[in-house]
Amino acid sequence: MTPRNPVLLIGVLFAAVMLPILVGIMVWVEMDTPASGPFDATFSLVDDRGRHVDQSLFKKGPALVYFGYTHCPEVCPTTLVDVAGWLKALGPRGAPLHAYFFSIDPQRDTPDVMHAYVTAISDRITGVTGKPEEMKKVVDGWMIHAAKLPGEGGEYHMSHTTSILLVGADGRLKALLPYEVDQQEALDIIRATLLKPGTV
């Protein structure tokens, strides 16, 4: 019998352990990385005031776009409060900016529910919801990760992309802001990507 090479054996064991981890990381990154655009899917939804919205929404000016749901326990409200703070801090310079909160849980997030939710945070944020099949077009179009996970007593919660999309007036993704990004860093990126001369 040929003696086993201990270095080779260690290498094989290391690869066996690390490969699933690396694959998992790659899958997570892919699921949490939206498409760069331009957004080219068609959809028919409503905003939190019951007004019809479609794909032209992404061509009405630079926008901060976030996908979440009103039953979200922490990440969504924290993120929207951050967005409201940025809009206030930008002052008049931030006037051209839109802010959209797309529901990934339209079954529970009716226009009335969305309206109560977003207006409690800021009058600058527009909630968007509608039929699940229409919302799926937007989620798939931006390659957003959104999955329903079962909870206790028949309840459920959602796993979803936590980044904020910075979308230019041309409908293309310009940058991503990660969850709990520093406010000054966020403001600098917004100014540089969405509010620089010639972009609005």
- Computed over every residue of the chain, the mean pLDDT equals 86
How far apart (Å, rounded) are the C-alpha atoms in residues 200 and 118? Answer: 25
* pTM score over 0.85: no
Closest CA to 48 of 116, 130, 127: 127
User: What confidence tens digit (pLDDT) does each residue in 155-164 have?
Assistant: 999 999 999 9
How far apart (Å, rounded) are the C-alpha atoms in residues 66 and 101? Answer: 5
Residues 6+ apart with CB under 8 A from 191: 90, 93
pLDDT band with cut points at 50, 70 and 90 for residue 196: confident
Q: Determine the pLDDT at residue 185.
A: 98
- What single-letter amino acid sits at 166? L
pLDDT band with cut points at 50, 70 and 90 for residue 152: confident
pLDDT at 100 over 80: yes
In what order do the strands lie in the sheet containing 125-129? 52-54, 44-47, 125-129, 98-103, 63-68, 164-167, 173-177
Closest CA to 146 of 131, 163, 130: 163
- What single-letter amino acid sits at 129? T
Domain 44-193 falls in which CATH fold? Glutaredoxin (3.40.30)
Closest CA to 185 of 119, 106, 89: 89
Q: Determine the pLDDT at residue 199.
A: 65
**10-14, 43-47, 143-147: segment of lowest average pLDDT:** 10-14
